[in-house]
Amino acid sequence: PAQLAAPVQGRISFEDVQFAYPARPATNALDGVSFDIQPGETIAFVGPSGAGKTTVFQMLLRFYDPQSGAIKLDGMDVAGLEREAFRKHIALVPQDPMIFATSAAENIAFGRPDATRAEIEAAARAAAAHDFITALPQGYDSPLGERGVMLSGGQKQRIAIARAILRDAPVLLLDEATSALDAESERAVQDAVDALSEGRTTLIVAHRLATVKKADRIVVLDQGRVVAQGSHDALVAEGGLYARLARLQFTDGMAAE
C-alpha cells in the first residue's frame, strides 16, 4: 500500500463523494459531497439529523469507502492506504466515548500504550481531567468500571479528550455532544477542545452556536449534499438553511453564550 509522506500535514479533501449504506442502497447518505480543508483549519459541520454529518466522519475513519469520488489526505487517496497506518493520523472524540474497565491511566493511554505516566498526566491536565482522576480512590490506578460507570458524562468526554491529546494526531474529529454536561463541565471540555484543536486540522459535528462561531468555516449539509459553506455571519446573511438552524437549533445556546 501507498505511504503518506511524514510529517502528515492534515490537508483533507472530499471530491464528489457518493456513498450509500449497504442496508439502504437506494438512498445516498452522501450525494456528490465536495470540500477542501487546509492544514490547521477548524471546520464545523452542521445540518438537520440525517444530513450526513456522521457519515463524513465514518468515511474519514474508513469504516466505509465511497462508491464513487475520492477522499484524500495530503493529496493521497485514502482508499489506497493501509487502514491501521492511516488511522494513526486521526484522533476521534466521539459523542459517547468507549470507557474500558481498566484503570484511568490505561484508559487515557488506549491509543498509545507506550506512553509514560508523566505523558498521561500531562494529557489529563490539558483535558481538565487531572483533578477528578486524582480524587478517585486510587487516583490514576483506579479502575473506571464497566463502560465507565464510575464517571459522569462530562468526565467520560474529558477522558476521551485526554486520549486524543496523548495520541497527538494531525487530524482531529470531534462529535460534539454537550447535552450530557452541566455548565461547568461544558466550559472545561470546551477549553480542552480549544487547546487540542490548536495547530491541528479539526472537523467538528457541531451542536452549539459558540463552537460554530469559532470555526474557520462552516459546512452546511442537508440530505447528503453540501448546501452552503462559509463563515457564520455570511451564512446568516444568506438566509437559507443555516440561518433557520441558527434560529431554531441554537436558540437555547444563544441565551447562554
Domain positions in the chain are: 1-23+38-89+170-257, 102-168
Q: Detail the DSSP E strand segments found in 138-181.
A: 171-175
- pLDDT the model gives residue 90: 94
User: CB-based burial of residue 69 (10 Å sphere; 0-12 exposed, 13-18 middle, 19+ buried)?
Assistant: middle
* Residues 81-115: tens digit of each pLDDT: 998 888 999 999 888 889 999 999 999 999 899 99
pLDDT per residue rounded down to tens, the chain (257 residues): 778 888 999 999 999 999 999 999 999 999 999 999 999 999 999 998 889 999 999 999 999 999 999 999 999 999 999 988 889 999 998 888 899 999 999 999 998 999 999 999 999 998 889 999 999 999 999 999 887 888 888 899 889 999 999 998 999 999 876 666 677 777 877 888 888 888 899 999 988 777 888 899 999 999 999 999 999 999 999 999 999 888 877 654 443 33
* Residues 194-233: tens digit of each pLDDT: 888 888 999 999 887 778 888 999 999 999 999 999 999 9
Q: CA dist 35 to 9, 66, 138, 205, Å? A: 17, 15, 47, 15
Query: Quick one: CATH architecture of 1-23+38-89+170-257?
Result: 3-Layer(aba) Sandwich (3.40)
Q: What is the DSSP letter of 4?
A: P
The Cα 103–Cα 73 span in angstroms is 34
Closest by CA to 33, choosing from 238, 251, 222, 250, is: 222
Q: Which three cell numbers stand for residue 70?
A: 475520492
On the question of a cis peptide bond just before residue 97, with omega within 30 degrees of 0, the verdict is no
